[in-house]
């Protein structure tokens, strides 16, 4: 899950496609929960996000690494695993994919119900302040990006990347989904926010994940990734 040269069109397209499908699945689960008066439930929404990401990473990892998240891309940039050009292209693809995924939810489901749920845009619970939202998103993104490094990036990683990363998203959605939406992903927040034109507290979903992802990348690069014997 590393990139040393400029990404190909194939890998950039895979990032856009994977992110679009992830955002579609996640937003659709939120909208479906609203349409069915809570039949999907918080557990179902968490399951959709976690398993959806696990499946998509498993399908696309051999093409692009399966980042599907600007915060993950930023963590890899902070760790020196991708360069700035690759980071820029992947983030652009991820944001475009997020918008496409959210637009598909609006196209497929009853528009009135979709807009009533703000197309699945994450939001802060009434008792959660802006600062608390940033801290929650940062902490759980740190956990998510650590799962990426520990199961996909490290040369010592077990071959369980899809499972490990998806499970970290599932756990976050269970624990803090009711508090912040557990986006942990600027593309997951930006896509539906743009389609719904609902940017309330939107900065939380950029600041928190980028801080958490960048910090995780630095920690893994500095302390946890195995050292190259040739550089010792």
Question: Above 70 in pLDDT, residue 230?
Answer: no
Q: What is the distance between the alpha carbons of residues 49 and 74, in angstroms, rounded to a whole number?
A: 21
Residue-level pLDDT at 161: 84
Q: Please, which pLDDT band fits residue 5 given cuts at 50, 70 and 90?
A: low
Question: Above 50 in pLDDT, residue 83?
Answer: yes
Span 75-102, average pLDDT: 97
The domain locations on the chain are 9-222
Question: Above 80 in pLDDT, residue 3?
Answer: no
Q: Please, which pLDDT band fits residue 232 given cuts at 50, 70 and 90?
A: very low
Contact between 181 and 194 (Cβ < 8 Å): no
Span 119-124, average pLDDT: 98
pTM flag (> 0.75): yes
Question: Above 60 in pLDDT, residue 129?
Answer: yes
Q: What is the distance between the alpha carbons of residues 34 and 180, in angstroms, rounded to a whole number?
A: 17
CA 211 to chain centre: 14
CA 95 to chain centre: 11
Q: Which of 88, 86, 101, 89 is nearest to 19 (CA)?
A: 101
- State the sign of the Cα–Cα–Cα–Cα dihedral 113, 116, 118, 121: negative
Question: Above 60 in pLDDT, residue 231?
Answer: no
Q: Which CATH architecture fits 9-222?
A: Up-down Bundle (1.20)
Q: What is the distance between the alpha carbons of residues 85 and 12, in angstroms, rounded to a whole number?
A: 12
pLDDT digits over 175-199, tens only? 999 999 999 999 999 999 999 999 9
Q: What is the distance between the alpha carbons of residues 155 and 158, in angstroms, rounded to a whole number?
A: 9
């Amino acid at each position: 899950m590393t990139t040393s040269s400029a990404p190909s069109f194939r890998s950039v397209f895979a990032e856009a496609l994977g992110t679009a499908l992830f955002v579609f699945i996640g937003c659709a689960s939120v909208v479906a929960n609203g349409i069915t008066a809570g039949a999907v439930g918080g557990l179902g929404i968490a399951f959709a996000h976690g398993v959806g990401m696990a499946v998509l990473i498993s399908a696309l990892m051999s093409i692009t690494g399966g980042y599907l998240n600007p915060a993950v891309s930023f963590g890899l940039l902070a760790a020196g695993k991708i360069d700035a050009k690759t980071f820029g292209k992947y983030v652009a693809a991820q944001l475009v994919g997020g918008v496409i995924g959210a637009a598909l939810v609006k196209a497929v489901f009853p528009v009135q119900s979709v807009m009533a749920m703000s197309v699945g845009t994450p939001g802060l619970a009434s008792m959660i302040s802006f600062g608390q939202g940033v801290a929650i998103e940062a902490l759980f993104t740190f956990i998510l990006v650590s799962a990426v490094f520990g199961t996909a990036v490290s040369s010592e990683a077990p071959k369980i990347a899809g499972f490990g990363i998806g499970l970290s998203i599932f756990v976050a959605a269970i624990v803090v989904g009711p508090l912040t939406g557990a986006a942990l992903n600027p593309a997951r927040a930006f896509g539906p926010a743009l389609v719904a034109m609902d940017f309330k507290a939107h900065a939380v979903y950029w600041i928190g994940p980028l801080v958490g992802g960048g910090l995780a990348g630095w920690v893994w690069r500095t302390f946890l990734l195995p050292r190259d014997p040739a550089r010792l």
